[in-house]
A and B are shown apart, each in its own frame.
Chain A
């Protein structure tokens, strides 16, 4: 709600330093988020924006997969030792071979079957995608997982096995392990070397949820949870305002009034209107007070006066949102893009 706060300080007399700093910080944050976004171009020609998985998620998935493979491997090894007593003599090589033979197929097969998801990625909601916009190919899956073996497991196995032998290979292995850990920290999509070579990235699987449109909601209905409760003080106002047709606007705004804001403010208002305070009375009251402050601020700015009470705020803001959106969309169609209130 930075736009709202900025209005306030603007009224207090010129732009204060704090708000400038805040704006700069917000802009920086937004720019960072944008830079991190992964835009892929599917063959249909409509760019899709994906959110790369964070470092924590990736690390968690790696550890979880490691745990799974260790578990399976150990079960297999104990079973093998139990079945063939003779194997115990050459246990070390059997163990290394089993893990090697298990790990690579584990990752490759699951990613092929589940379209870029290992069991851990499935649990944590991550997914491997191809950056080039075509589908993942088996080649890409093989490369990124083969390189995991090369990147991480073989140097680590080597270090564990040959650590007491400080030769040149040990040095290379140690350096390499450091490089491998640094690479995902340094690039914007947290790709590891295997990802870079295979041209893949790991993303958070998006969860589509279709929310009700704020613009079609009946005045003050369905928008807020508090309209459901019977002791809602808004009820009286709603009855009065929707005396005629349900769709008839009670509040009307002129073009000059709607000219004050742009797309960004509209979308912030949308978020504000969507917040669901839940059943708690305290939170509901807080929301109402908040909406009231925002409504009065807008009212002041657009010359509606300072008269909107907390009770009316929801209706007012919903009506304002509808009018503003219709207006901005119309302007947009005419080629007049207004990204935010500073569009001029």
Chain B
């Protein structure tokens, strides 16, 4: 207000001008100042501004967006409106940039969010595991009674000759390669297996959106592959050896698949049972946990691939295979069960006295 009277006193020739022209003249300097700061923020990041500049930046942003609102109601100057709109948008994007630091987000994911998401959605994981086990059981029984079922469950490339017709020696050779360290054509097979499993994991997560049915089916189907293999090896009395061969990476890999399908089931259940929300909203609400599960699955798949690349062919002793595979499995389990438990929750359960103290302390510090 003060500025306005001063300016009109010093510049009487503006007396007769249009209101919107005066509006622009009075605020133009601020806009240009904001544009200057904005260019710096966009080039080098807001962290490079000094405290005062940052303060000024947010102040100017609010004033400019205020100008935009005013201009919309009083000005007919199209180019001015466009300018203000663009400037405000750019400033808005710079002011409301992602605030969390990347490294902290990563640490938080591994230390807290991922295991918490697993614990919150334990029932979906259990459901996925149950479907997987059912598939395995069904295929095992069917292939045991009639080996021709094997073809129905396992594709030709996935089997790569290890079907019911394979001799015991062949099967044994694929489990315990003669010269450890030579990858040979197994490299291609493991590559195929990796892409296969990754795709299954991704599909069982994504297709959860379609009411969870494809996810359930894929999980079941994946179980049948395993069950069929076990049935073939059981017939030759090699199932324990197969378990060892699979354990070294399979524990991690199958857990990853289960988490992926648990994420998919979570999405699917949001579609099937949205509760009081619309389905889209329910899906958005289920999103964060489901995505955490999917990310976890991706991390575990990569770990499994590393284990597969090195461990499976290098470690050929049955006991070592079992120990490594299930040892890693136990480590995963410990992580999921123990990591990211907040002190508040545990203390609430054990010692309510301590908890009220903590809350009081919080209030005092605030």
Contacts and interface: CB of A to CB of B under 8 A. Distances in A.
Interface of A: 42-44, 46, 48-50, 89-94, 96-97, 100-101, 104, 109, 112-113, 115-116, 127, 129-130, 134-139, 141-143, 146-147, 149-151, 154-155, 157-158, 161-162, 164-165, 167, 169, 172-173, 176, 197-199, 205-211, 213-216, 245, 247, 263, 266-267, 270-271, 274, 322, 325-326, 328-330, 332-333
Contact of A270 (B79, B302, B306): B79
A142 B106 CA distance: 11
Given A50-B89, A165-B157, A150 B205 contact: yes
Given A46-B66, A165-B155, A208-B35, A93 B88 contact: no
B199 A215 contact: no
Given A115-B97, A135-B98, A329-B19, A42 B92 contact: yes
A96 B195 contact: yes
Q: What DSSP secondary structure best describes chain B's contact surface?
A: helix
B155 to A, nearest CB: 5
B102 A270 contact: no
B187 A197 contact: no
Interface in B24-78: 24-25, 28, 31-32, 35, 62, 65-66, 68-69, 73-78
A42 B61 CA distance: 12
Interface in B290-321: 291, 294-295, 298, 302, 305-306, 308-309
A210 B98 contact: no
A247 B211 CA distance: 70
A158 B199 contact: yes
Interface residues of B, number: 79
18 contacts: A89-B187, A93-B191, A96-B195, A113-B102, A138-B98, A138-B100, A146-B291, A150-B294, A155-B203, A158-B199, A176-B206, A206-B89, A208-B35, A210-B35, A211-B83, A247-B16, A322-B18, A332-B73
B287 interface: yes
Interface in B86-140: 86-90, 92-100, 102, 105
B226 to A, nearest CB: 16
Nearest to B70: A46
Given A197-B283, A206-B90, A213 B199 contact: no
A130 B96 CA distance: 10
Given A158-B199, A199-B284, A270-B78, A90 B86 contact: no
A322 to B, nearest CB: 7
Contacts of A208: 35, 83, 86-87, 90
Contact of B77 (A150, A158, A199, A214): A214
B96 A135 contact: yes
B3 interface: no
